Structure 1
Amino acid sequence: MAMSSDEEYGSDQMMSDDELDADSLGELAGNLDSDYDNDADDDQFLENMRDDKPQKPAYEVDYTTLSDAELRNKQKEQVEDVRHILGQPVEQTAILLRYFKWQKERLIDKYMDDPDKVLEDAGLGAEWNDDPKLEKVRGFSCDICCDDDAEMNTYSMRCGHRYCADCYKQYLENKIMSEGESGRIQCPTDGCSRIVDSKTVRLLASPKVLARYGELLNRTYVDDKPNLRWCPAPECEFAVDCAVRQTELHKIIPTVVCNCGLRFCFGCGHNDHQPCPCALMKKWLKKCEDDSETANWISAHTKECPKCVSTIEKNGGCNHMTCRKCKHEFCWVCMGPWSEHGTNWYNCNRFEEKSGEEARGQQAKSRASLERYLHYYNRYANHDHSAKLDKDLYVKTEKKMTSLQSSSGMSWIEVQYLEAASTALQQCRQTLKWTYAFAFYLQRNNDTYIFEDNQRDLEMAVEQLSELFEKPADQLAASRKEMVDKTAYVGHRRRILLEDTANGLRDERWQFTTDIR
């Protein structure tokens, strides 16, 4: 006979109150104690779960973008913090921090050892004017303009050097607006090292000069802090806070993205150059500059068809070229048959070293060295050029997006996959460009072959996406899924390459032909 679930569990586990004897109660109590003892295990389990959360990629760094207001607030917080320790006014504390380049611990240590010396060295002195004001002084004559009008306003700091208010204003305006000084403006008297504080500037300066004064104080704050850097984009007012030190740049490439959208390296301020470390990037650019005539020849936009020798101009980002005259399909980079690209024979990215016999003699070695450099520079320059063409192509594609939207019935959001593909292409071209500068300085070993395999896989995927991207507008709708999938794939291949190179730099696994420290 079948039993209900209540009957089934009741026959084995349910007991009446009378049946709960002392032994049963003791057993239940022991079970409860055991359950409570497992709380620690539960906490450990949750902690392990937290440890298993996705880790940040090795090629990414922690950073914060700061606005003008946030920079001012940071300064105020640090000034308030130190002011309570030193027992000094706000303006005086700010001057002390600027003098010590915002190194709080060093300032406190020096001040505690000899406060009078610190104040004197910082341009403050023992006496401080807490309430600066304009005064009319009978019988006074300004040493700058020689005016001795008894009704004119004058001003003097605690150093006692007095000038008429108009001359003092003109002096501050010249220092701030023309010379770009702010935190270390000294008294107008020659030989006096007393520093003009912010209260004096607020008292004398016009609103325009005062606004510029605040901007310059922010500038000096960022310039003095090694963990801060201004975004290099023109007219961008954001700064980036990143804890990566200059001594770590041989192990990491601290790429950051400003709120304005610019991707750049925090270490050197150059545009994003992953996976090439700062030292190699600078060496490569210097070498390209030194070999400018060769570089100019290589970067020419026309080549000859390898079959019929017709002149061909590259007008798109894709490297799959088809000669209009003979219909021969070839690779713009290596000039080899396109049929071999995308197969196991694809070897366009790898430079084949010549044997010792082939490079015998000084002339042969020089020729081999130049050939090697041209191999890497050709591909570096090509990806740089293709990225610009891909960007121009997207501008034209905006019209295609509008046309596609009206002809296919897609919404504007649905045709945004073209913008995503364009962004992925430009980002991957930028990465591929710098992989060739990176590879130029690599010593040949097994790690190099793995790197070149990753480089090849990314390059092949990028060329396929670029070819899809150049289809006419009436074919874009049909290739939408393929383009979306390929966009995701190139992003995946880029992450794999950057992750491998970043781990190799961190572990100092890569061996270079030059010193990168």
Structure 2
Amino acid sequence: MEDCFDGSSDDDYYDRVYDDDDGEGEGEDFDGLQEAEDETEISMSCDKAPSCKVIRKETLLAAQKEELQRVMDLLSLKEHHARTLLIHYRWNVYEVFTVFAERGKEWLYSAAGLSVRSSKDINSSAALNTVTCEICFEEVCANESTIMDCGHCFCNNCWTEHFIVKINEGQSRRISCMAHKCYAICDEENIRNLVSARDPYLAEKFDRFLLESYIEDNPRVKWCPSIPHCGNAISVDDEYCEVECACGVQFCFSCSSEAHSPCSCPMWKLWTKKCHDESETVNWITVNTKSCPRCYKPVEKNGGCNLVSCICGQPFCWLCGSATGLNHTWDSIEGHSCGRFKEDEVEKTERAKKLLWRYSHYHNQFKGHTDSLKLEAKLKDKLQEKIIILEARDLKLRDFSWLTNGFNRLFRSRRILSHSYPFAYYMFGGELFKIEMIEKEREIKQNLFEDQQQQLGFNIEQLSMVLEEPFDDYSEEELLARRMKIMALSGVVDNLCKRLYECIENDLLAPLQHETINIAPYRSMGVEKASELA
């Protein structure tokens, strides 16, 4: 995708837009500005994104049948046999085809516990008059017994009891044969017929489990995490993406939590836990505790005496934080003189303070931008009111989409910036990548990343400030100037977001080669909205 803005100054941008070689006045300037905006929108809409579909309760069966049909056509199988294969391979049709091509049909079926009886076997088993069940050792008529695809035959009563137990245990997606050391998967048609004769409700539960296996066992399909649950599922082509359900909930498909890119899923999980455990008390800890000089845990003073003891057993002086002995007299503490300055003790104390202040810094930045995001969300209604006022005026300027586009850019980039701070906290803290990066390398990369953060933050604040101006009272000339500035800032912010992601993906994460540390790619138009499944 080509960038509409190359990161040059706003003045340069203004010159490009208002370059009037023909000198034909304001009308030509207006047309040129409209052209620039159109190019911007075309560029923004060219994002490559994973295909994303909403699967509703009514379309779940159709989505499942589409995958089943592909396997049925390739391997000439019945639907229930195809379902057995796909459940085993977690509904990955490509993997089924790959295993079939590389190892053959026999190995493919065996690995999935699938047995397909020939018509000859079916006719020979039907010719029997009576059968002895090897479970209850009762001799029953042939029509009161059932033979599975694996060839094992037991009475219907024993089969039914077996199936009911498995369904109630939640194992109905893959119910194996009762025979000793037989791992073949039972025919779902036989299961359904036998269970429905005893308990129709349980048979419906079995069918529901089979239907929902397309979501539960499929890594490319997940339930929407909305609360209360909207009943929708989302299907994607790429696991590492952020999607928006038809109900409006935006979430990370990989971990089902709120959209948190460019922070990776493991980092976000650690961050949310840390914030839940520490953010509410970090200010109190700073004011009311001091760090133990031995284990660096925060210690609270609960008495008047300045000799305190940590839970680890280390006594220390509350006044200066230095370690002491246990013996305490009226005029001295063993091994301690509070009036003397000691460099090594200061370094130990500073280490604990540094860790605490480091977390405080990143948490305050994260919370500050998150709070701004909540306040700026209210800006949308104000902008709509201003647009209504502007449309009522007799202006040459008729299209005000640049306002909503600017707001959307502000909202998306602010969220990206806020989530970049948890990423930086773990990326450069030595907690996750202590071995992978030496100190000097970490310092260089951190400076590079923070420079980009600072540039992005500066332009976001500029865009926010401009959008909050009372431009509904401006003259048309002032309005055109504000329009151009909002478009320019939107382009610059978009470009800086791209560069931030490129820095994360190419300079920071790629050299580490961590399979578990991945981020959803940047999309100029924001989180992809899932389209309806036909």
TM-score of the superposition, structure 1-length normalised? 0.55
Question: How far apart are the structure 1 equivalents of 2:274 and 2:409?
Answer: 29
The answer to whether residue 355 in structure 2 is matched with residue 369 in structure 1 is yes
Identity across the alignment (%): 22
Q: Would you say the 8 A contact 1:404–1:415 is kept in 2?
A: no
Q: Does the 8 Å CA contact 1:119/1:125 hold for their aligned counterparts?
A: no
When residues 187 and 480 of structure 1 are mapped into structure 2, their CA distance, relative to the original with a 3 A threshold, is farther
Partner residue, 2:407: 422
Equivalent residue number for residue 31 of structure 1: none
Answering whether residue 210 of structure 2 is matched by residue 220 of structure 1, we say: no
1:421-455 deviations in Å (ceiling 9; x for gaps): 43222211210101222333336544433433332
Task: Tell me the distance in 1 between the aligned counterparts of 2:366 and 2:115.
Answer: 55
Deviation of 1:276 (Å):
2.5
Relative distance call for 1:114 and 1:255 in structure 2 (3 A) is closer
Alignment of 1:416-455 (within 5 A): 416-440=401-425, 441-442=427-428, 445-455=443-453
Deviation, 1:179, is 6.1
Equivalent residue for 2:506? 507
Deviation at 1:370, TM superposition (A): 1.9
Among residues 254, 257, 270, which one is paired with 1:270 in the alignment?
A: 257
Asked if 1:97 corresponds to 2:86, the answer is yes
Aligned partner (choices 365, 369, 373) of residue 383 of structure 1: 369
Q: Verify the 8 A CA contact 2:453 2:500 in the aligned structure 1.
A: no
Residue 241 in structure 1 maps to residue 236 in structure 2: yes
Distance 2:413 2:203 in 1: 45
Report the residue type matching 2:389 in the other structure: L
Structure 2 counterpart of 1:98, which letter? I
* Matched positions, count: 375
Kindly indicate whether residue 261 of structure 2 is the aligned counterpart of residue 288 of structure 1: no
Q: Which residue of 1 aligns with 2:389?
A: 404
Aligned equivalent of 2:327: none
Greater RCO between the two (CA within 8 Å, min separation 6)?
Answer: 2
> What amino acid sits opposite 1:93 in the alignment?
A
CA distance in 2, matches of 1:413, 1:70: 45
Provide closer, same or farther for how the CA distance between residues 363 and 482 of structure 1 changes in structure 2, counting only shifts above 3 A.
farther
Which residue pairs with 2:67 in the alignment?
Answer: 75
Deviation at 1:69, TM superposition (A): 5.7
Q: Report the AA paired with residue 53 of structure 2.
A: T
| Cα offsets for 1:282-337 (capped at 9, x unmatched) | 33333323423345879xxxxxxxxxxxxxxxxxxxxxxxxxxxxxxxxxxxxxxx
Structure 2 equivalent of residue 496 of structure 1: 495
Cα deviations by residue, 1:87-127 (Å, 9 ceiling, x for unpaired): x5332233133234344133676665568xx5597265757
Kept in 1, the 8 Å contact 2:367–2:418? The answer is yes
Q: Which residue of 2 aligns with 1:457?
A: 455
CA distance in 1: counterparts of 2:89 and 2:491, whole angstroms: 46
Correspondence for 1:199 among 184, 189, 196:
189
**C-alpha distance in structure 2 between counterparts of 1:214 and 1:476, whole Å:** 64
Listed as ranges, the gaps of 5+ residues in structure 1 are 1-53, 132-136, 145-152, 245-252, 299-356
For residue 362 of structure 1, report the CA deviation from its aligned partner: 1.4
- 1:186/1:401 Cα in 2 relative to 1: closer, same or farther (>3 Å)? farther
Q: Which runs of 5+ in 2 are unaligned?
A: 1-42, 124-128, 137-142, 286-342, 429-440, 518-534
In 2, the alpha carbon distance for the partners of 1:63 and 1:474 equals 39
Superposed CA deviations along residues 383-408 of structure 1, whole A, max 9, x for unmatched, are 112212222343x4277257526753
Alpha-carbon spacing, 1:73–1:406, altered in 2? closer, same or farther (3 Å): same
* TM-score in terms of structure 2 length: 0.53
1:151-188 per-residue CA deviation (whole Å, 9 max, x = no partner) reads: xx978454544558xx96x9989977x76655324579
Task: Check conservation: 2:471, 2:479, Cα contact below 8 A.
Answer: no
- Note closer, same or farther for the CA distance 1:454–1:508 as it changes in structure 2 (3 Å cut): closer
Q: 1:130 to 1:380 in 2, by over 3 A?
A: farther
State the distance in 1 between where 2:178 and 2:372 align: 57
Report what 1:346 is aligned to. none
Q: Contact 2:224–2:231 at 8 Å: present in 1 too? A: yes
Per the alignment, do residues 270 and 494 of structure 1 end up closer, same or farther by CA in structure 2, a change over 3 Å counting? farther
User: 1:237 is matched by which residue type in structure 2?
Assistant: N
Take 1:208 and 1:471, find their aligned partners in 2: how far apart are those partners?
62
Distance 2:191 2:283 in 1: 53
Taking structure 1 as reference, are residues 476 and 55 closer, same or farther at Cα in structure 2, changes over 3 Å only?
closer
Q: Flag the structure with larger Rg.
A: 1
Shift of 1:224: 3.9
Question: Alpha-carbon deviation of 1:73?
Answer: 4.0
Distance in 1 (CA, whole Å) between partners of 2:254 and 2:414 is 21
